Structure 1
């Protein structure tokens, strides 16, 4: 049996490499850090029976060109890069564990929320330029937090927010009234979240309904000191509209860990002083990387009964 790994971060993680050595005789790691296009991915998978895939697009064309493939095991949590229906139609198993990196992402959300509200990032960068500007912003405690998407990561953010005594507004397409009541959450429309929240954090999948949900219209509803955090999917936010909102001061700040194209080619946006930019590392703590990798390996082990 042959297994290929597409993810560069998986392929350079010593503990995951050791786990691969212990469990499989024939495997290939992406040690060159290649980002595969469709044709390159087909060639890379070749005659393998299993693939551990990161962010590469697993399309019907890829599946048809790799007839030996029996399982696509996801390294990570989002499945929007895997054509799930095409896998089912071809009887190809999907190995996936939801929320495996939830703590890593949620901690980043809390950290960036505090950094934006307290002007930590902004004033630190000013001080590096020799500018002493004492603007301590406001505390996270007792602010209004809007959580859009109450899945694994959204719930983890809510759990970490408990000591801060915030008013938490939530919105999700799935009814979770018992969970909301138990945790003192207020279920409202997205529009109400936009209008009243001090911090808006997005944790939805990318669908036709959620694509560019943050746009000129939604930004116009927000308070002028509100901050937005997106650690989910880049196309949830219209970055052109966000750039205008930040430059004109119609919102207070933002944090982006994901982009419409990665790496982003938006130098003007990235240079905005009250925008925290990170290179898609929300779920990339060393603990989360190992958890995601172990989960992906485990799905293959279980599928083949090894």
Structure 2
């Protein structure tokens, strides 16, 4: 029987009805270790015999694709594909589909929540009260702040919309500049250097750079407004970690709030454990609503790519 592999962490802890319906189309379902991103060794063990793959954010190597001779389609329950060897998949004729925009609201709401948490020092205050203290660190309001949104895809647009509704001035940066889709959002289109130099809050909603280099390095941090807040719900590789720690130490950056790490969960807590870092465990799209939308879209995309009617 043809097999479908399911590896997103949000879909392996317990069966999802949309995925289980794949059995009605004659497919067997193979799950990775529940609630964990599979490593290469586990993927190499699971992919033989798989014709379709509902994939998460786990890194997928060319070795893994080579071990899956029957693979015909990969469907992501999100929009990012930088974890996939796209050229190898293209050479093999393997279709790659994404659930564009399905988790945009969940990720955007988290980005806004992280802004509030950083501006009002919520984690710091919460930890102090629970330790029997009464910490009071002067906060800032979001109304009237300048928020720079890097990447105006579905998540970036929604983040910009919410920030504007809260009374922030929004600077938008995106080389594709999707004007028509962003028309309902009041933004000023600027270049990246202007975002860094003028925004009091910079929030990242773009893929990692093709060359693998960080978008924000030591030189970029030098151009940030002193006391700025950086939000990252996109990719850890966008930010140079050593330069980030230096920017936090010097006060150039007031806070870094992130949902993504180079290794998840992080083994080295130098960054995640820093007192000016707000760290959450890749939960941007992990809401009931986002999971439902993304899963339904991913399953439909997978069936379509396999030539089956959803």
SS of the counterpart of 1:201? strand
Alignment-derived partner of residue 134 in structure 2 = 132
SS of the counterpart of 2:50? coil
Alignment-derived partner of residue 276 in structure 2 = 274
2:147 to 138, 145, 148: 145
Alignment-derived partner of residue 195 in structure 2 = 193
| Preserved contact between residue 247 and residue 272 of structure 1 (Cα < 8 Å) | no
| 1:181-260 paired onto structure 2 within 5 Å | 183-208=185-210, 211-260=213-262
| 1:36-51 paired onto structure 2 within 5 Å | 36-51=38-53
Q: Is it true that 1:11 corresponds to 2:12 in the alignment?
A: yes
TM-score, normalised via structure 2 length: 0.90
1:168 to 155, 170, 193: 170
TM-score, normalised via structure 1 length: 0.91
Q: Is it true that 1:305 corresponds to 2:296 in the alignment?
A: no
Aligned length: 306
Task: Note the alpha carbon deviations across 1:47-95, whole angstroms, 9 max, x for none.
Answer: 1111111123333332232211111111222100112222222111112
How far is the alpha carbon of 1:43 from its aligned partner? 2.2
| Preserved contact between residue 231 and residue 258 of structure 2 (Cα < 8 Å) | yes
Task: Note the alpha carbon deviations across 1:192-234, whole angstroms, 9 max, x for none.
Answer: 1111111100011012367311221111222222100000011
CA pair 71-226 structure 1, distance change in 2 beyond 3 A: same
Q: Is it true that 1:155 corresponds to 2:151 in the alignment?
A: no
**C-alpha separation between the residues in 2 aligned to 1:89 and 1:209?**
21
**C-alpha separation between the residues in 2 aligned to 1:95 and 1:272?**
37
SS of the counterpart of 2:231? strand
**C-alpha separation between the residues in 1 aligned to 2:26 and 2:158?**
34
| 1:61-140 paired onto structure 2 within 5 Å | 61-140=63-142
CA pair 176-31 structure 1, distance change in 2 beyond 3 A: closer
**C-alpha separation between the residues in 1 aligned to 2:7 and 2:15?**
16
Unaligned stretches of 5+ residues in structure 1: none
Which structure has greater helix proportion? 1
